[in-house]
Structure 1
Amino acid sequence: MKVHFIAIGGSAMHNLALALHHKGYTISGSDDAIFEPSKTRLADYGLLPIELGWFPDKITSDLDAVILGMHAKEDNPELLKAQAEGIKIYSYPEFLYEQSKEKTRVVIGGSHGKTTITAMILHVLHYQNKEVDFMVGAQLPGFDTMVHLTEENDFILLEGDEYLSSPIDRRPKFHLYKPNIALISGIAWDHVNVFPTYENYIEQFEIFAESISRGGILVYNEEDAEVRRIAEAAEAPTRKHPYSTPEYTIEDGETLLETPEGPMPISVFGKHNLNNLAGAKWICQHMGVDEDDFYEAIASFEGAAKRLEKIGETATNIAFKDFAHSPSKVKATTEAVKNQFPDKRLVACLELHTYSSLNADFIKGYKGALDAAEEAVVFYSPEAVAIKKLETISKEQIAQAFERDDLTIFTDATTFKDFLVNSKFNDSVLLLMSSGNYGGLDFDKIQELL
C-alpha cells in the first residue's frame, strides 16, 4: 500500500508513518517544519522529506491514501491536489480505525490521565509478553515507537484524544474509534479554542460513551461526578464497570499500594495516579491479565514521559517535570508532590502555554491550583498570547485568578531561568509543569541547579 502524509513531522503523524513503514507500506511525506525527535527518527528510516515545504507533485494517481495532519491548513496545496484527483483522504484517527476494524478496540478517554493509563496498560502487557497493537501519546521505555500496527494481534489499545481529527474533519478523534472496550478517567473543561463552552466540551464525552460497540464495556472513574453522570446515563447497550482510588499509604517518600498480598511499593505516586492505576487494572483484566499478574507488572512502572518525570536529584533536593497545564491537573500534581514529600519545601512552577491556559476567562479556574506549594511561580510569554491571537493578559489578571498574594509571575524566559539559577534549593522539591519548555529551558541541565 502506498501512503502519503501531509504534515509528516508531527509527534503522532511521524509515529504512524514509522509504524506503517515497519508494516511494509511505501511511505512518503511533506511538512514545512520538522523538529526533533521526529527529524532524526524519520531520517533513520529514509522517510525524512528531502526539503521542507508542500509539493503537489508528490500527490500522484498511484497513491492508495493520503493521511492529513492537524498541522496542515485547509488550503494546503497537496490537500487540494489530492481532493482534485479523488484520492482517499484520511485523518489520523480515521486511518487507525481502518487498520483496526477487525480487532478488539480498547480506547482510553478523559481530559486527564489517559496517557498514563494507556502507558500503564502497555507496560503490564509488555511485562507479561502479551502482544497488542497500540497508539499512545508519549514515548515509553522499552517501546521504539508510539504506534504499533500488525495484521496478527487481536487487540489494539488507543489513547482517545478529544481534540479535532483534521483541518477538514472537525470531529473529536475518539469519536472515530468505535471502541469495544472504553474507559473514561476524568473530565475537566479543556481546548476552549475548539469547545467554547463547558456544555459543548461535556457533550463530546457523552457522544463517546454512546459510540461503544453493541455488547461492549465501559469502565469509568466513579469519583468524578461528571464521568459518573455520563456513564450512568449512557444508553448504549454495554456493561458498565466503575472504579475508584485504591487504598495506599506513603512512608518516607515511598508509596505503598494495598493489595490482597499486603502493601506493595510502587514507583508512581499521587492520588490521581493511584486512581489511574485502578482504571488500568480493570482494562488489563478485560484484556486477559489476572489481578496477581497485574500487580507483579505494575510494581516496575515508572511513568510516561513528562508525567511526573524525575529530571534531577541530589541527597537533599529533587526535581520533576509534568505535562500538567489545565487547572485540575495542576492542582492534582502539586498536591501529589507535596503529599509525597511533606517535609520538603515545594517550589511549583507553571507555564501558561496552551490556548486554554492563556484565555482570559479560562485562567479564573486556576484559583487555589498552586496552594499546596510553599513557593508558587507562573511563567507566560506575551508573545505566545499574540501569536495565538488571544486577548492580552496582564500580570494583575493572573494574580487575581490564582488568588495568591505571594505568587511570582515571569513574562521573560531569561528572567525565569535566572530565577532558577539563583534559587537556593535546600531540602526542596522543584516541580516544573508545562506542555511547553518555558521559552527554551534545557531540562537536561536541571540537575546542575539542584
Structure 2
Amino acid sequence: MNVHFIAIGGAAMHNLALALHNKGYHVTGSDDTIFEPSKSRLQAKGLLPNAFGWFPNKITSNLDAIVLGMHAKEDNPELLKAQELGVKIYSYPEFLYEQSKHKTRVVIGGSHGKTTITSMILHVMHYHDKDVDYMVGAQLEGFDVMVKLTEENDFIVLEGDEYLSSPIDRRPKFHLYKPNIALLSGIAWDHINVFPTYENYVEQFSIFVDSIVSGGSINFNEEDAEVKRVVEASNNTIRKIPYQTPQYTVVNGETLLETPEGDLPIEVFGKHNLNNLAGAKWICQHMGIQEDEFYEAIATFKGASKRLEKIAESSNSVAYKDFAHSPSKVEATTKAVKEQYENRTLVACLELHTYSSLNAEFLKEYKGTLNAADVAVVFYSPHAVEIKKLDAVSHEQIADAFQREDLIIYTNPDDFKNYLFSQKFDNKALLLMSSGNYGGLDFDAIKGLIE
C-alpha cells in the first residue's frame, strides 16, 4: 500500500508511519515543522520529508490512503488536493481500526491512568513473550516503537484517547475502535476547549461503553462514582466487571502489594497506580495470563515515560517528573509521592500549561489538589496564555483557585529556576508536574541538585 501522512511529525503520527514502514508499506509524509525525537526517528527509516511545508504535488491518485493528523488545518493544501482527487482519507484512529478490524481489540479508556494501564499490559505480555499489536502514548522500556502492527497477531491493545480524531472528524478517537475488551479507569473533566461542559465530557464515555462489540466486556474502576454510573447505565449487551484498589503497604519507601503468595515488592507506587495495576491484571487475564504470571511480571514494571519517572536519587533525597496536569492527576500524583516518602519534605511544583489549566473558570477545579505537599509551587507563563489566545490569568486568581495560603507562584521561568536551584534537598522529595518544561528547565540539571 502507498500511504501518505499529512502532519507526519506528531508523536502519534510518526509512530504509526514507522509501524506501517516496518510492515512493508510505502510511506510518505509532510509537515510544516518536525521536532525531536520524531525527526531523527523518521530520518533513520528514510521517512523524513526532504523539505518542510505542504506540497499538493505529493498527492496523486496512486495513493491508497491519506492519514490526516490533528496538527493539520481544514484548509491544508494537501488535504484539499486529496479531497479533489477522491483519495481515501483516514483519521489516525480510523486507520488503526482498519488495520485491526479482524483482531481482538483491547481498548483502555479514562481521563487518567490509560497510558500507565496500557503500558502495564504491554510490559506483562512482553515479559512472557506473548506478541501483540499495540498503540501506546509513551515510550516504554524494551519497546522500540509506540505503535506495532502485524498481519499475524491476534490481539491489539489500544490506548483510548477521548480527544478529537482529525480536523475534519470531530469524534473522540476512542469512539472509533469498537473494542471487544475494554477498560474504563476514571472520569474527570478535561479538554474544556472541546467539551465545554462536564455533562458533554461525560457523555463521550457513555458513547465509548456503548461502542463495545455486543458480547464483549468492560472492566471498570468501581471506586470512581461517575465511571460506575456510566457503565451501569449502559444497555449494551456486554459483561461488566468491576475492579478496585488492592491492599498494599508502604514500608521504608517501598510499596508491598498483597498477593495470595504473600507481599510483593513493586516499583510503582501510589493508590492510583495500584488501582491501575488492578485493572491491568484483569485485562491480562482476559488475554490468557494467569494471576501468578501477572504478579511475576508486574514486579519489574518501572512505569511509563514521564509518569512518576524517577530522574534523580541520593541516599536521602529523590526527584520525580510526571505528566500530571489535570486536577485529578495532580492530586493523585502529589498524594502518591507523599505516601511513599512520608518522612521527607515534599516540594511539589506544578506548571499550568494546558488550555484547560490556563482557563480562569476551570482553575477552580484545582482547589485542594496540592494539599498533600509540604511546599507547593505553581508556575505558569503569561506568554503561553497569549499564544493560546486566552484571557490573562492573574496571580490572585491562581492563589484563590488552589485555596492554599502558603502557595508559591512564579510567572517568570528564570525566577522559578533560581528558586529551585537555591533550595537544599536534604531529606526532601521533589515532584515536577507538567506537560511542558517550565519555560526551558533542564531536567538533567536536577540531578545535580539531588546527587
TM-score (norm 2): 0.99
Deviation digits for residues 392-435 of structure 1, max 9, x if unmatched?
10010000000111111111111111111111212100000011
Stretches of 4+ aligned residues off by more than 2 angstroms: none
Instruction: Note the 1:398-417 alignment, pairs <5 A.
Output: 398-417=398-417
Structure 2 partner of 1:49:
49
TM superposition shift of 1:218: 0.7
Letter in 2 for 1:64: D
Counterpart Cα distance in 2 of 1:35 and 1:72? 15
Counterparts of 1:127-166 in structure 2, within 5 Å, are 127-166=127-166
What letter corresponds to residue 32 of structure 1 in structure 2? Answer: D
Structure 2, unaligned stretches of length 5 or more?
none
**What is the SS of the residue equivalent to 1:53?**
coil
Deviation at 1:391, TM superposition (A): 1.2
Could you tell me which residue of structure 2 aligns to residue 372 of structure 1?
372
Find the counterpart in structure 2 of residue 286 from structure 1. 286
Secondary structure of 1:63 counterpart? coil
Amino acid at match of 1:114: K
AA paired with 1:258?
A: E
Cα-to-partner distance string for 1:200-245 (whole Å, 9 max, x where unaligned): 0000000000000010001100000000001111111101110000
Cα deviation, residue 354, structure 1: 0.5
Deviations 1:372-408 (A, max 9, x none): 1111000001111111111110010000000111111
Q: Quote how far apart the aligned CAs of 1:169 are.
A: 0.1
Cα distance, 1:103 vs. partner?
Answer: 0.2
> What is the one-letter code of the residue matched to 2:386?
A
Read off the aligned partner of 2:56 and give its amino acid letter.
Answer: P
1:153-202 Cα shifts (integer Å, max 9, x gaps): 00000000000000000000000000000000000000000000000000
AA aligned opposite 1:137: G
1:246 is matched with 246
Asked if 1:187 is matched to 2:201, the reply is no
CA distance in 1, matches of 2:396, 2:33: 36
1:84-233 correspondence to structure 2 within 5 Å: 84-233=84-233
SS in 2 for 1:389: coil
Residue 446 of structure 1: aligned partner: 446
Cα shift at 1:445 = 1.6
For 1:217 and 1:247, the matched residues in 2 are separated by 25
2:58 aligns to what? 58
> Structure 1: which amino acid aligns with 2:71?
H
Other structure's SS at 1:264 match:
strand
Q: 2: CA distance between counterparts of 1:439 and 1:37?
A: 19
The DSSP-based 3-state class of the residue aligned with 1:449 is helix
Partner of 1:16: 16
The amino acid that maps onto 2:128 is: Q
The AA in structure 2 aligned to 1:108 is I
In structure 2, what is the equivalent of residue 76 of structure 1?
Answer: 76
Kindly state the Cα deviation for residue 316 of structure 1 after the two structures are TM-superposed: 1.5
Unaligned ranges ≥5, structure 1: none
Aligned to 1:363: 363
Q: Could you say which residue in structure 2 is the equivalent of 1:265? A: 265
Equivalent residue, structure 2, for 1:386: 386
Deviations 1:285-324 (Å, cap 9, x if unpaired)?
Answer: 0000010100000000000000000001112110000011
Tell me the SS of whatever aligns to 2:232.
helix
What is the Cα deviation at residue 440 of structure 1?
Answer: 1.1
Residues of 1 paired with 2:274 and 2:93: CA distance? 29
Aligned-pair CA distance for 1:71: 0.4
Q: Superposition pairs for residues 416-431 of structure 1, below 5 Å?
A: 416-431=416-431
Matching residue of 1:351: 351
Give yes or no for the alignment of 1:395 onto 2:395. yes
One-letter code of the match for 1:139? Q
Q: Alpha-carbon deviation of 1:442?
A: 1.3
Which amino acid is the alignment partner of residue 441 of structure 1?
L
3-state SS of 2:409 partner: strand
Residue aligning to 2:298: 298
Q: Give 1:104's aligned amino acid.
A: T
After superposition, the CA RMSD in angstroms is: 0.5
> Structure 2: how far apart are the matches of 1:127 and 1:445?
33
- 1:222-270 deviations in Å (ceiling 9; x for gaps): 0000000011111111011100000000000000000000000000000
Q: Give the Cα–Cα distance (whole angstroms) in 1 for the partners of residues 398 and 219 of structure 2.
A: 37
Residue aligned with 1:16, SS: helix
Q: Partner letter of residue 420 of structure 2? A: L
- SS of the equivalent of 1:145 reads coil
Q: CA deviation at 1:138?
A: 0.3
Deviations 1:56-99 (A, max 9, x none): 11101100000000000000000000000100000000000000
SS in 1 for 2:140: coil
1:29 aligns with 2:29: yes
Corresponding residue number in structure 2 for 1:331: 331
> Secondary structure of the residue that 2:435 maps to in structure 1?
coil
Distance of 1:145 and 1:364 partners within structure 2: 38
